[in-house]
Amino acid sequence: MSAVQEVIAFWRDAGREKWFVKDDALDAELKARFTDLHFAAARNECSDWCATPEGTLALLILLDQFPRNMFRGSGHAFATDPLALSIARQAVGKGFDRDVDPPMAIFFYLPFEHSEDPADQQTSMDLFTAHHERVDDAECLRYAVVHQEIITRFGRFPHRNAALGRESTAEERAYLDDGGLKG
């Protein structure tokens, strides 16, 4: 099995019930299996993967999803977000998101949702709205709305402040204390 196939198969098999929740066992397994590959991707050593929809999907998972698990609570969880966003922007422009299994297409959109730029948040909304119309994925659309609302309100994601060494405002602390998105 190629590295591209291994990344996609692992993440597909983990399933949605594990994709967006804290799971220490999953985090440890990802770290053990994919840390070296993640850093290779971060060094642009896997850029040839961008030639195909499947390769791009694997690269986006490696750069945008896996670090959120492998480096949970540290700034590195977000360090490859700009690279993932650049790759996602090019891939969506080529229509690669429509050339993969529909449930996996969301990984082309999440780099926009994870961006703290309001324009990227609007792109996220547009992409997740179209995705919802294709595959009736209300949950992903709801989270896109939540992320956009946070950026509109704060201009950044408050739950990242500690990991990134940013000072939280009183309003951000109150939001987090009241159960706001924890990341």
pLDDT in tens, 61-116: 999 999 999 999 999 999 999 999 999 999 999 999 999 999 999 999 999 999 99
| 57 in Cβ contact with 106 (< 8 Å) | no
Residue count (the chain): 183
| 80 in Cβ contact with 41 (< 8 Å) | yes
- In the structure encoding, which two tokens stand for residue 56, read together? 């791009």
Residue 80 confidence (pLDDT): 99
| 85 in Cβ contact with 56 (< 8 Å) | no
- pLDDT-based confidence at residue 180 (cuts at 50, 70, 90): confident
**For 3-177, which CATH superfamily applies?**
Tetratricopeptide repeat domain (1.25.40.10)
CA terminus-to-terminus distance, the chain: 32
CA nearest neighbour of 40 among 13, 58, 22, 18: 58
In this prediction, residues 22-27 reach a mean pLDDT of 95
CA angle, residues 179, 158, 122, in degrees to nearest 5:
100
DSSP string, 4-17: HHHHHHHHHHH-HH
Residue 181 confidence (pLDDT): 81
Can you tell me the distance from the alpha carbon of 44 to that of 156, in angstroms, rounded to the nearest whole number? 27
Half-sphere exposure of 3 (CA within 13 A, CB side): 18
- Give the start-to-end residue ranges of the domains of the chain: 3-177
**Per-residue pLDDT tens digits for 118-134:** 999 999 999 999 999 98
Higher-scoring residue by pLDDT: 142, 136: 142
- pLDDT-based confidence at residue 182 (cuts at 50, 70, 90): confident
| 106 in Cβ contact with 137 (< 8 Å) | yes
| 31 in Cβ contact with 70 (< 8 Å) | yes
Can you tell me the distance from the alpha carbon of 158 to that of 171, in angstroms, rounded to the nearest whole number? 10
How many CB atoms within 10 Å of residue 64? 24
**Per-residue pLDDT tens digits for 29-54:** 999 999 999 999 999 999 999 999 99
